[in-house]
A = this chain, B = another copy of it.
Amino acid sequence: MDEIDLKILAALQQAPDLSQRELAERVSLSQNACWRRLRKLEESGVIVGRSLRLDRSALGLDLIVFAMLRTRSHSADWLEKFRRHVATIPEVIDFYRISGDYDYMLKIAARDMASYDRVYQRLIEKVELDNVTSYFAMEAIFDNRPLPLR
């Protein structure tokens, strides 16, 4: 990964729908050379893929909640069971294990409070949780910005 690769990534982060021709132009390379670099970035896994950005509001997902969880049990078995359980809840869109006075951070997209409460009930039904703190998003100032390269 050299300078040019970083330029390619930066350009595509900023404008993912660039055509090969436009991209090549921006990084001052022939279309073909640029295409081969892009292919390598994909094959090597630096580019994991693409994703669709949807307007949550337009889909009625107006409630974003950050739930911090403290767990009681920590056996390997329990953790595995917990993960599989969380994975079955589609409203959970991010799921991080963290350090500090909580063990997990979940980002949840729900239609409304009633819908969130159902997610919450599902979260606690199967597993023994010590503490759940929910932070409700009042406003997404920004979300999923380009990663800082270099």
Nearest B residue to A91 by beta-carbon distance? B148
| A145 & B54 in contact (Cβ 8 Å cutoff) | no
* Contact across chains for B51 and A47 when beta carbons are under 8 A apart: no
Interface status of A34 (Cβ within 8 A of chain B): no
Closest CB in chain B relative to A70 CB, distance in Å? 12
The yes or no answer to A66 lying at the interface (CB within 8 A) is yes
A14 to B62, CA, bound (A): 21
Question: Which residues in window 46-60 of A have CB below 8 A to B?
Answer: 46-56, 58-59
Collect the chain B residues with CB atoms within 8 Å of residue A96's CB: 64, 66, 137-141, 143
- Bitwise, A99-141 to B at CB < 8 A (1) or not (0) is 1101001000100000000000000000000000111111111
Cβ < 8 Å to B, chain A residues 61-94: 61, 64, 66, 68, 83, 86-87, 90-94
Which one of B46, B90, B146 lies within 8 Å of A148 (CB-CB)? B90
Could you say which residues of chain B place their CB within 8 Å of the CB of A86?
141
A97 within 8 A of B: yes
Which chain B residues border A144 with CB–CB below 8 Å? 51, 93-94, 144
The 8 closest A-B pairs by CB, nearest first: A90-B148, A48-B53, A97-B139, A95-B141, A98-B135, A16-B50, A46-B58, A93-B145
Which positions in A face B, CB cutoff 8 Å?
Answer: 1, 9, 12-13, 16-17, 44-56, 58-59, 61, 64, 66, 68, 83, 86-87, 90-100, 102, 105, 109, 133-149
